[in-house]
Chains A and B, each alone.
Chain A
């Protein structure tokens, strides 16, 4: 059986885990290719205007996969930690897919992660049983490696630490904040990370935050944030300010993102209090490369200048 993984939303976190699981139960796994312009516009064309770009992109990936696989896995991430959600749109994702990609029909394979009712293994096992497959007896390798840790921050660290180590340390350090599907999708953010590398900057992302910072930044807020991706950014902010002392921040978000309207504002206030420069980049499907490059270059010049004077 061929399982398709759409390369959008939290694929950027969980792909290794999902891939390994399905291979363990003798399925072949294919992912949709990295987002490109055409795929993005397919998604844009099939959804309501009002929905955010990352969901539109995800729909584009689903559409790409449907004719090529037996099942398309739709991760239904309601909750992956106590007391926090990801976003209402994640909670309604299977229904959004069902209504916007009607051709998916029986090929839709929903895997519902709903802490604490199902942990990652249980959720996947349930889905496997639905397909008539026998769930693997033992915990699978990836999960073994992470024993003792809540699975998702551990997983993040494993993969993203690598990414961090691949970079050479430069003079200028920049903290990149935002949601993973905004940061790691070059088509979405018009190759922001590559541009940073080309400018000899070392960048740090929320996913690279050491586990010991978990709950540190988010915990210092007056009221607990109830969005996982927001909490992670606050932990990252703490790390970037206290330990790394980065020279500036870039905050990436998408037009009309609900949670980020609140989280972004709170982050910005903290960053300004710490007296660091911040560039806020807000993307939608019509974002032009020229505009982003000009703003980015001006910002990087400012950072370099600040670095020289102090």
Chain B
């Protein structure tokens, strides 16, 4: 059986493993991202390459060191951001270091799912298009399931009475979902998990702070690299609304950009007074969602950006003006291979304290509870 691997990107391994398994490929996942993965990638990559590039590379090397892999699956793009050239350069670097491996690069946003199939078919002579579309719907179901669960988990976590209960359920759910192979099993697992989650005992009187989490997609989705920021904030008694979800991203880039090319319209309108042009990556979304957070009375925004990330740096220039005009505090966190958990934690704590203080001044009375959770 042909062996494929994919780079880590949050929970995307769950739908992607399903997709490849379903068309008859063996999926080998890279070992979990560790400090060593990051160091390894950083050593081989150009100094100023983006952090996600380096970590992908680390993933590939760690996988190739212990296994023979036939195919690496990557997404691509057409600029202006560097992401569109990741695969090509990574392949060159791997080759230069003695790893011979093919890349299958899905050129989002311009590729039709059919093209992915055309590319895959080369490796799968026995499969038909219907097999592929079944695999696709199956992967889609899993992707949606993960995102539905995570969204609810972020709402429940700050309220849980037993610390860690939500995260434990989350782990269990990922595990079960990843193992499921039938549509009806998936449905059952999701329903059960959601039910379990909703029946956790929670503090009804507690009003959590609400923070919007946004920024560069990899940093937002990959909890091993963002120091489990959703969990950390949740444990500090904060309800986190994440603006980027893997399923949505796939939907927007694979489907919307074909059937409804102006799907970004709403973001453009929201961002317009602060950033008037698409700048690649999630730069425009960062600005739009910050405005959105302010308008919808969130208490604060955390922006995650890898060091040297161009779209986020452009967006970052606009954020102070939004804070000034609309009164929403923003904490930009720039992460690189040397970032440490302690530093990030301290900054998050200070930010949350500040938000709690602001709220207590405006409404009174809720400050003590947040502090007592720590």
Contact = CB atoms under 8 A, between A and B. Distances in A.
Interface stretch (B131-139, B225-233, B309-317): B309-317
B46 A265 contact: yes
Interface string B286-328: 0000000000000000000001111101111110110000000
A95 B277 contact: yes
A178 to B, nearest CB: 14
Interface stretch (B84-92, B162-170, B197-205): B84-92
A152 interface: no
A84 B80 CA distance: 8
Interface string A274-290: 00000000000000000
A98 to B, nearest CB: 8
B234 interface: no
Contacts, number: 112
Nearest to B320: A99
A99 B316 CA distance: 10
B307 A92 contact: no
A213 interface: no
A259 interface: yes
A83 B79 CA distance: 9
Nearest to A92: B314
Contacts of A264: 46
A264 B277 CA distance: 27
Contacts of B317: 47-48, 51, 92, 95-96, 99-100
A96 B318 CA distance: 7
Contact of B277 (A50, A87, A91): A91
B275 A95 contact: yes
Nearest to B84: A226
Interface in B43-100: 46-50, 76, 78-82, 84-85, 88-89, 92-93, 96
Contact of B88 (A47, A99, A222): A222
A261 B274 contact: no
A120 interface: no
A12 interface: no
A303 to B, nearest CB: 24
A95 B47 CA distance: 28
A111 B93 CA distance: 40
Contacts of B84: 226
B279 interface: yes
A133 B318 CA distance: 31
Interface in A187-218: none
Contacts of A11: none
B351 interface: no
A197 to B, nearest CB: 29
A257 B80 CA distance: 13
Nearest to B91: A222
Contacts of A221: 88
Contacts of A50: 307-308, 313, 316, 334
A225 B317 CA distance: 27
Interface-central residue, A48, A225, A255, by most chain B CB under 10 Å = A48
Given A84-B79, A99-B318, A48 B279 contact: no
Contacts of A222: 88
B337 to A, nearest CB: 14
B313 A266 contact: no
B149 interface: no
B276 interface: yes
Given A88-B81, A88-B281, A88-B314, A262 B89 contact: yes
Interface in A82-106: 83-89, 91-92, 94-96, 99-100
B89 A258 contact: no
A46 to B, nearest CB: 11
A64 B315 CA distance: 24
A255 B48 contact: yes
Contacts of A84: 79
Contacts of B78: 83, 226
Contact of A261 (B48, B80, B311): B48
Interface in A47-67: 47-48, 50-51
A85 B80 contact: yes
B357 interface: no
A155 interface: no
B320 to A, nearest CB: 7
Given A226-B78, A256-B307, A269-B96, A89 B48 contact: no
A256 B308 contact: yes
B304 to A, nearest CB: 13
Contacts of A262: 46, 49, 82, 85, 89
A260 B275 CA distance: 24
A260 B85 CA distance: 12
A162 interface: no
A223 B274 CA distance: 34
B207 to A, nearest CB: 34
B278 interface: yes
Contacts of B334: 50
B80 A87 contact: yes
B85 A258 contact: no
A187 to B, nearest CB: 22
A221 B320 CA distance: 40
A144 to B, nearest CB: 31
Interface of B: 46-50, 76, 78-82, 84-85, 88-89, 92-93, 96, 274-281, 283, 307-311, 313-318, 320-321, 334
Given A50-B307, A50-B313, 8 more contacts: A88-B281, A95-B274, A227-B79, A256-B48, A256-B308, A258-B82, A261-B308, A262-B85
21 contacts: A50-B308, A51-B317, A76-B277, A89-B314, A95-B275, A95-B277, A95-B314, A99-B321, A223-B76, A223-B85, A226-B79, A226-B85, A227-B80, A255-B48, A256-B48, A258-B310, A260-B48, A261-B82, A262-B49, A264-B46, A269-B92
Interface of A: 47-48, 50-51, 76, 78, 83-89, 91-92, 94-96, 99-100, 221-223, 225-227, 255-262, 264-266, 269
